[in-house]
Amino acid sequence: MKKDEVAVGDEVKVVNNHLLEGNTIKPNLVLHAKHEVKDVFVCGCGEVHLDIGLPLEINYVSCYKCREELPLKNNTHWCNSIRFIKA
C-alpha cells in the first residue's frame, strides 16, 4: 500500500503473516483477520507502516528494507503495509 491508499480509520485485512526478508522477528498476525488502522508512518525509504493496535513485545521495530527504527509510539508493533489489503 502507498501512503495515499490507507488512512487512519480504514479497515485492513491480513494477507501476509510470514517473516519478511532479513528479519528474525515477525508480528503476531492471523491470516484474514481484520484490523482498524490507528496510525500510519512512512520511513525514509518510503515504506508504509501501519499501527493496528498490536502491542510491542520487543525493544524496537525497524523497516525490513532500510532498517530505520520506527517510532516507539503508543507501545505499538508497527506492521509493514505489504502485509495487508483494504478490507
pLDDT in tens, 29-75: 999 999 999 999 999 999 999 999 999 988 888 999 999 999 988 88
H/E element holding 85? strand 84-86
- C-alpha distance from residue 44 to each of 10, 31, 35, 47 (Å): 23, 28, 25, 8
Question: Which residue range is the domain that position 80 belongs to?
Answer: 1-87
Residue 50 gets which letter from DSSP? E
Q: Decide: helix, strand or coil at residue 3.
A: helix
pTM above 0.85, yes or no: yes
How many Å apart are CA 13 and CA 36, to the nearest integer? 9
H/E element holding 35? strand 34-36
CATH code for the domain in which residue 65 is found: 2.30.30
- What total of structural domains would you count in the chain? 1
